[in-house]
Structure 1
Amino acid sequence: MSTPPSRRQPAGAAVLREDVTEAIRAAVFEELAAVGFARMSIEGIARRAGVGKTAVYRRWKSKLSLVLDLLTAFAAQGLPAPATGSLYGDVRALLEVAAHALRHPVASQVIPDLLVEAARHPEIADAIKAALLDGQQGVAALVVRDAVARGELPAGADPDRALDLIVGPLYWRLVVVRTPLPEGYLDDLASAAVAALKA
């Protein structure tokens, strides 16, 4: 007596390939830089990533959810907290990292566009706050805490004020005015920020 042929077990949910996911994420940044959020489309992202639209929709339901996911992932990476042993050294190191990030060609196109979109989409505003502000506030708090412990700043120094003084001018220059940094600008800005914090 012959045994019936065994039936193939139904497959579970499709496994999402990480290389495809990363290609889509890279394509989103490129597409944002090229056409902006308003004109960005799932079709354009898929074409740039070399995948079908379904590969994008398997991972994200819309371009808004895709951008929010990217901003959340960016926020999770965080900024490294400098530990140079001096307030000036920490401020200068923080400025160097921030300037490098803001001068990146993709960031210099994407950040201004997303700031405009944040006025229309509260979800984007919240994600930008988490990605850009919350992480930097944490780093500024560590810089201030260490400076207080070394006696360079008085107890009760305000980390929010420190963040405004340290990176505020840099954002203004690189994101709003969009002019190159002159030679020695970061050194001068670090000295000015430290003097203002100590005042």
Structure 2
Amino acid sequence: MTDDTTGQDCAPPRRAPAGAAVLREEVTVAIRAAVFAELAAVGYGRMSIEGIARRAGVGKAAVYRRWRSKLPLVLDMVSDVAADGLPVPDTGSLYGDVRALLDVSARALSHPVAAQIIPDLLAEAARSPELAAALRTALHDTQGGIAAAVVRQAAARGELPATTDPRLALDLLAGPLYWRLAVLRTPFTPADLDALTTAVVAALRAPE
């Protein structure tokens, strides 16, 4: 038997005869989608297991069988985002790699759900060390790995010194995007991204 039923719980769930209940993948997928939708709609502070279950079309027990509360649930979602990450561009030039990465990142940050969720989670992270650590992985460590790969590729092509600091590359790439898209809520045009790419490349090539 499976553990999940649609709608609100009317009675305590029956135990699976073999011990642990079977967790249906489609129910897990629906709950995960509902978490993102709830975060975007009401924010972390007002998000509840009841609201997630209602949006997913399942009973609360289906959520609690997977996560004991909303914090580990959100931590799991953030970890998934970190695991997926963004692709490392390999266009054959530093300018092309930076431009491709800025384009993908700008589109991701401009997504309506991301635009609602990321600022809210960053504010909540000030009150939750666990959430702060998970966000560091999702928003810093993963992006940092991509920036490091771009720097390594450019150094191998002779476009950058081998001593170029990947952390500087990450700051130059992520800072303007977050400021414009998450703080000012002002979109980037293709011309804006071209100009930013030129500025990032020039800054990385500047002598130390």
Query: Could you tell me the TM-score, scaled by structure 1's length?
Result: 0.93
1:138 partnered with 2:145: yes
Unaligned runs of 5+ in 1: 1-8
Query: What SS does the corresponding residue of 1:184 show, helix, strand or coil?
Result: helix
1:86 to 61, 68, 93: 93
Query: How far 1:183 moved relative to its partner?
Result: 4.4
Q: CA deviation at 1:94?
A: 0.5
Instruction: State the partner residue of 2:154.
Output: 147
Report the AA paired with residue 168 of structure 1: G
The alignment partner of 2:65 has SS state of helix
Say if 2:106 and 2:188, in contact at 8 Å, map to a contact too: no
Is residue 183 of structure 2 the alignment partner of residue 195 of structure 1? no
| Deviates most, 129-138 or 173-182 | 173-182
* Per-residue Cα deviation, 1:37-76 (whole angstroms, up to 9, x for no partner): 0000000000000000000000000001100000011111
The count of residues paired between Structure 1 and Structure 2 equals: 191
SS in 1 for 2:168: helix
Q: What's the offset of the Cα at 1:140? A: 0.6
Paired amino acid for 2:155 = V
Separation in 1, partners of 2:136, 2:69: 21
Counterpart CA distance in 1 for 2:30 and 2:120 is 22
2:193 matches 1:166: no
Identity %: 71
Root-mean-square deviation over aligned CA pairs: 1.1
Q: TM-score, normalised by structure 2?
A: 0.89
Q: What are the Cα deviations for residues 87-129 of structure 1, in whole angstroms up to 9, with x where unaligned? A: 0000001101101110111000000000000000011110111
How far off its partner does 1:19 sit? 0.4
- Residue 11 of structure 2 is matched in structure 1 by none
